[in-house]
């Protein structure tokens, strides 16, 4: 698969993991050892090492994405009672130290899609994602100053609801402050009507209204100079003339026009809402998706 990813022109993988991966008692599931005999007996960090080694050999970079605390739990916040914030930060520091000097791993996507009670800039240590991201980001940079620190948005800001992880409205008044400011990257997630039928998909001026929606919630940051913006997730099943397909193609054109980088969700076909670049046989690519994405791909990163 890594070879296929590289051959299709993708230069970076956003690699999801859970903190459970590093539990010695946690055993890997779902690996076809007939196709991957070299993975037999490996678990935890050794499996991640093997993926990163393979990506690096092909010139593909990796962003580590702390997706969830455990494989069966997706909480609204970046911590739980069983996985406190201190554990979340400690695992990030461990990874930063482990991959220090490894040119393949370029960044840390600190936590996937803070939502629900998550706030931005209000100073509440239990919910203020901006505060937690600063603490974790600076701890990571102390261990590995070469990494990019990727900070996603939240779901709602002052009553304005958006996609989980996609609302960065608060970052203008309350920017993230890191010890290495040039390592900060803001990240938004954006989806279409197959995930949820947001009001802007029913607007009379759709899709011409979309750029204003994106500017309001995340794209403005790049223009006001608060830091680069990266769309860490977007995707959907259709690239046709339906609302989903029009939204996807409009977003890719918007990203290209505004010089905004992205990683696409997802490579694998078993993402319920979006499907993947691969079709259900896990081999054949969805050419309609590739045709749209190929219009805006960057060359290999050095």
Which positions are catalytic?
113, 233
pTM of the model: 0.97
Is the backbone of residue 25 left (phi > 0), alpha (psi -120 to 50) or beta?
alpha
Evaluate the CA torsion angle 145, 168, 197, 212 in order and state its sign: negative
pLDDT of residue 297: 92
pLDDT of residue 301: 79
**71 preceded by cis ω (within 30°)?**
no
> Structure tokens of 103?
């040119």
User: C-alpha angle with apex 191: 67 to 258, nearest 5 degrees?
Assistant: 100
- Using CA atoms, how far apart are residues 1 and 23, in angstroms rounded to an integer? 26
Q: All domains of the chain, ordered by start, with CATH?
A: 2-296 (3.20.20.80)
pLDDT tier at 302, thresholds 50, 70, 90: low
Phi/psi of residue 282, nearest 5 degrees: 65, 20
pLDDT digits (tens, 9 = 90+) for 5-34: 999 999 999 999 999 999 999 999 889 999
pLDDT of residue 116: 99
Count CB-CB contacts under 10 A for residue 94: 13
Dihedral of CA atoms 287, 289, 295, 297 in degrees, nearest 10, equals: -100
Q: What is the mean pLDDT of residues 67-78?
A: 95
pLDDT digits (tens, 9 = 90+) for 244-262: 999 999 999 999 999 999 9
Q: What is the mean pLDDT of residues 96-124?
A: 99
Residues 6+ positions from 281 with CB-CB distance below 8 Å: none
Which of 203-207, 208-212, 226-230 shows the lowest mean pLDDT across its residues?
Answer: 226-230
Q: What is the mean pLDDT of residues 169-198?
A: 98
Q: Is the pLDDT of residue 299 over 90?
A: no
């Amino acid at each position: 698969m890594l070879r296929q990813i590289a051959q299709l022109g993708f230069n970076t993988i956003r690699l999801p993991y859970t903190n459970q991966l590093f539990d010695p008692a946690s055993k890997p599931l779902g690996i076809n050892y007939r196709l991957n005999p070299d993975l037999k007996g490996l678990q935890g960090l050794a499996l991640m090492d093997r993926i990163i080694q393979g990506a690096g050999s092909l010139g593909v970079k990796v962003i580590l994405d702390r997706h969830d605390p455990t494989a069966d739990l997706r909480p609204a916040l970046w911590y739980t009672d069983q996985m406190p914030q201190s554990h979340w930060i400690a695992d990030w520091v461990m990874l930063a130290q482990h991959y220090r000097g490894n040119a393949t791993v370029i960044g840390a996507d600190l936590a996937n899609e803070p939502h629900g009670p998550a706030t931005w800039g209000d100073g509440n240590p239990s919910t203020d994602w901006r505060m937690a991201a600063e603490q974790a980001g600076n701890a990571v940079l102390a261990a590995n100053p070469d990494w990019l620190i990727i900070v996603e948005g939240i779901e709602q800001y002052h009553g304005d609801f958006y996609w989980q992880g996609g609302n960065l409205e608060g970052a203008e008044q309350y920017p993230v402050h890191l010890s290495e400011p040039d390592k900060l990257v803001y990240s938004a997630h954006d989806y279409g009507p197959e995930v949820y039928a947001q009001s802007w998909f029913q607007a009379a001026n759709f899709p011409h209204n979309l750029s204003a929606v994106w500017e309001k919630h995340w794209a403005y940051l790049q223009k006001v100079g608060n830091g680069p913006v990266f769309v860490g997730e977007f995707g959907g099943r259709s690239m046709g003339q339906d609302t989903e397909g029009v939204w996807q193609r409009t977003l890719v054109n918007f990203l290209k026009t505004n010089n905004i980088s992205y990683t696409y969700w997802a490579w694998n076909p078993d993402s319920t809402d979006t499907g993947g670049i691969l079709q259900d046989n896990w081999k054949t690519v969805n050419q309609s998706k590739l045709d749209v994405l190929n219009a805006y791909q960057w060359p290999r990163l050095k």
